[in-house]
Amino acid sequence: MERVRAQAVLTAILFLIWLLLSLPVQFSEVIVGAVVALIIAAVPLPGPAVYREIIPLPRRLGAGLIYVVVFLWAVVKSNIDVAFRVLAPRLPINPGIVRVKTRLTSRVGRLLLANSITLTPGTISVEIDGDDLFVHWISTDARDVEEATGKIVRGFERYLEVCFG
């Protein structure tokens, strides 16, 4: 059952990307895309096991949508922030690598969390080790792990936790 669901999710993703690529779409293209997506999803590769973590329930999809909005807003803020730092004559940076903790257990969730951290205010994920993420921070502003976690991770984690677990 889990395997079939993962294959269905993979088929849907592949089919969507195909539709976007071939827009404006013709009927024959839709058929070919659907068939090829089904065939690819049916091939037993080790990679698609990750798609088992994507469970299309309304509550999870809703959290995913909120996450996208939060994430895009953070991207805009971080870009402006870094742009100002580059332009400021005194180069106001206070760099360091801090340890933060994550509650996420799924691989997709952790991947998206690390990606989001890299794309948002002055932080880059450097390494992950168990529940610990090591993050390069351009303006280190935390006394301990909890404070850093609160400032860097929590905003995304809240929604990713619901979406992927």
Partner 1 sequence: MGALLGSLLVLIGSVFLLLAGLGLIRMPDVYNRMQAGTKATTLGSILIFIGFAVLFPGQWARLAILVLFIFLTNPLSSHALARSAHHQGVPVLLPNTSTWDGAGRDDLADAKAEKRAGGSI
Q: Which of 45, 47, 58, 129 binds partner 1 (CB under 8 A)?
A: 129
The β-bridge relationship of strands 123-129 and 96-101 is unpaired
CB of 59 to partner 1, least distance (A): 23
Which residues have CB under 8 Å from 26's CB, separation 6+? none
50 binds partner 1 (CB under 8 A): no
Residues 98, 77: Cα–Cα separation, whole Å: 21
Residue 35 or 145 having the CB closest to partner 1: 145
Which residues have CB under 8 Å from 55's CB, separation 6+? 5
* 97: nearest Cα among 129, 137, 141: 137
Q: Which of 55, 64, 70, 118 binds partner 1 (CB under 8 A)?
A: 118
Residues 66, 163: Cα–Cα separation, whole Å: 10
* Whether 85 contacts 92, CB under 8 Å: yes
Site track for partner 1 across 136-155, x = CB under 8 A: x-x-x---------------
DSSP string, 102-135: ----SHHHHHHHHHHHHHSTTEEEEEEETTEEEE
- Chain CA centroid to CA 90, Å: 33
CB of 4 to partner 1, least distance (A): 26
Site track for partner 1 across 11-40, x = CB under 8 A: ------x-xxx-xx----------------
Binding residues for partner 1, rule CB under 8 A, total: 41
Q: Which of 3, 66, 83, 154 binds partner 1 (CB under 8 A)?
A: 83
Q: Which of 31, 32, 35, 76 binds partner 1 (CB under 8 A)?
A: 76
Give the interface with partner 1 as residue ranges (CB under 8 A): 17, 19-21, 23-24, 75-76, 78-79, 82-83, 85-87, 90-99, 114-116, 118-119, 122, 124-127, 129, 132, 134, 136, 138, 140
